[in-house]
Amino acid sequence: MSEQLRLMAVHAHPDDESSKGAATMAKYVSDGVDVLVATCTGGERGSILNPKLQGDTYIEKNIHEVRRKEMDEARQILGVKQAWLGYVDSGLPEGDPLPPLPEGCFALQDVDVAAGTLVKLIREFKPHVITTYDENGGYPHPDHIMTHKISMAAFEAAGDAAKYPEAGEPWQPLKIYYNQGFNRPRTEALHQALLDRGIESPYGEWLERWKEFERKERPLTTYVPCADFFATRDKALIAHATQIDPDGPWFRVPLEIQAEVWPTEEYELAKSLVDTSLPEDDLFAGIRDN
């Protein structure tokens, strides 16, 4: 294509972009692709997961501002653009029975109205490809599920001049993918590689939980080679200091083992308006040559 390729990654919270598809985005930025992260919420209700920062009263009182600063640092590391959709984090309800979601939160918004916010951004940025979450949200966080809903609705509506006429001139993205980086084949391969080298694996409990809950495997259609950008991914993730413990399990698999054993990030092609042959190694397969 003579025009610059554009990729939009739709995520629920600040830090999701750095844990799901971050190396892919950094790779495409290095290739000259224009990449925009659309962040649905401010992550205001996210717990402080880094034990080194727990109990910090400034962070607790200013979590919204802190998470915005973390997002800006991660954005710069990845080299992407970023936009906030402006919705309020729903939190992750816990307990039995589950408590009701907070009034006014993202997950309780009208899907058609919230999709209109994303349609406006799509029409402004004009992405050829969008990435988002599957119908289970990747995991069943209410904001992740809502992100899926508005992403799919916006993908269908953005090119239709009769829908959301106030949101700008129509633009039809050509492909939409689900992030599937946390998949069983990858996890099993890395787990075994660590054991074979006499290294303790952080994935044993994950695999046992998957057996317990009989997790259904998603189809993996697209494997993007991006091992050269795993270090960039990790640096961006660490920038979300309130959410990530730099000494935690995320970083216990040496990068050289990851690059050798599983050098890709994986996606599930949800819908394509161009012809493509599966499996793919490029989110823009079928677009670059048309």
* 16 labeled part of a ligand binding site: yes
Report the alpha-carbon distance of residue 227 to residue 243 in Å, rounded: 23
User: 3-class SS at 221?
Assistant: coil
The C-alpha atoms of residue 226 and residue 236 are separated, in whole angstroms, by 15
Query: DSSP assignment of 135-150, as one string?
Result: TT-SS--HHHHHHHHH
Distance from CA of residue 109 to its chain's centroid?
Answer: 20
| Other beta carbons within 10 Å of 119 | 27
144 annotated binding-site participant: yes
**First-last CA distance in the chain:** 7
CB 155 within 8 A of CB 172: no
Residue 242 parent element (H or E): none
Phi, psi of 176 (to 5 degrees): -135, 135
**Which structure tokens are listed for 214?**
């009989």
Q: Which residue has tokens 């809903």? A: 149
Cα→Cα distances 7→38, 40, 59, 219, 252, Å: 11, 16, 32, 22, 30
State the angle between helix axes of 111-125 and 142-157 in degrees (0 to 180), rounded to the nearest 10.
Answer: 60
Give the separation between CA 76 and CA 59, rounded to whole angstroms. 22
Token pair recorded at residue 119: 């349609």
Q: Which residues are annotated as a binding site for Zn(2+)?
A: 13, 16, 144
Q: Which residues are annotated as a binding site?
A: 13, 16, 144
